[in-house]
Structure formats: structure tokens, C-alpha cells
């Protein structure tokens, strides 16, 4: 699994601790140091089945300073993806990417349901 996070983010720290407590292996990637590419974001959004807006960090300073709350609805999807790929701090985190799933944000119950079922390797 690929775990994208911002190390200073408290939610990311909780998610990382949860992964470790449940002995789940992952590759760590700092979302600020290594932005997701447009191709990755497109793929992850398709795989997740979530609307693209769910990939935006709506509580972030960048989101607010760019006035994206009002601008996003008028933007083309390609422009939104390009914007997300330009700055990892605009991306909702953490992201957990598996072979057949994408989890956006940390919701312990959702992660447990996806990762701690009997058919999942530990």
C-alpha cells in the first residue's frame, strides 16, 4: 500500500499509528515533498469512485487563500486535477492507495472495514 501524508498533520499521524498498531505494511510518501502527479490523481479518483472535490483539502490554508470554495464548481475537471497536482498541500490527506482501493482522509471505521477483513493480507 502507498500511504501519502504530511508528517506534521495530526490526522496523518493518527492514521500512521493505526496502520502500525494493526501491523499493516505500507510505503510512506510525503505529499508535500512529492506531489501526486495529475496521472496518479486521475487514476486514484477513478479507482475511488469519489467525486474529485473529495480530493481537495478544504480546511487547508491554500484552499482558502485561492478562494477554491467558490471557484471549484466553475472549473473543468482537468483544471482541478492540474491544480491538485501543482501543490500537495491542496490534496486531502492522508491517502491510502491499495491494489483495489483508494481511501481519502482517515476514518478509522472505514479503514478497519477495508483493511482488517479476513480476505485482506496482514
User: Which domains can be identified in the chain, with CATH numbers?
Assistant: 2-107 (3.40.30.10)
- Compute φ and ψ for 91, nearest 5 degrees: -90, 135
Q: What is the pTM of this model?
A: 0.91
Q: What are the start-end ranges of the E strands in the chain?
A: 2-5, 27-30, 95-97, 102-104
The 10s digit of each residue's pLDDT in 16-59 is: 999 999 999 999 999 999 999 999 999 999 999 999 999 999 99
Amino acid at each position: 500500500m502507498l500511504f501519502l501524508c504530511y508528517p506534521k498533520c495530526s490526522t496523518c499521524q493518527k492514521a500512521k499509528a493505526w496502520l502500525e498498531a494493526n501491523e499493516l505494511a505500507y510505503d510512506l510518501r510525503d505529499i508535500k515533498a512529492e506531489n501526486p502527479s495529475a496521472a496518479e490523481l486521475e487514476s486514484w479518483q477513478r479507482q475511488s469512485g469519489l467525486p474529485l472535490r473529495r480530493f481537495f483539502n478544504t480546511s487547508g490554508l491554500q484552499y482558502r487563500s485561492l478562494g477554491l470554495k467558490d471557484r471549484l464548481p466553475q472549473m473543468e475537471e482537468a483544471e482541478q486535477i492540474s491544480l491538485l497536482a501543482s501543490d500537495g498541500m491542496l490534496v486531502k490527506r492522508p491517502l491510502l492507495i491499495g491494489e483495489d482501493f483508494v481511501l481519502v482522509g482517515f476514518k478509522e471505521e472505514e479503514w478497519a472495514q477495508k483493511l482488517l477483513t479476513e480476505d485482506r493480507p496482514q
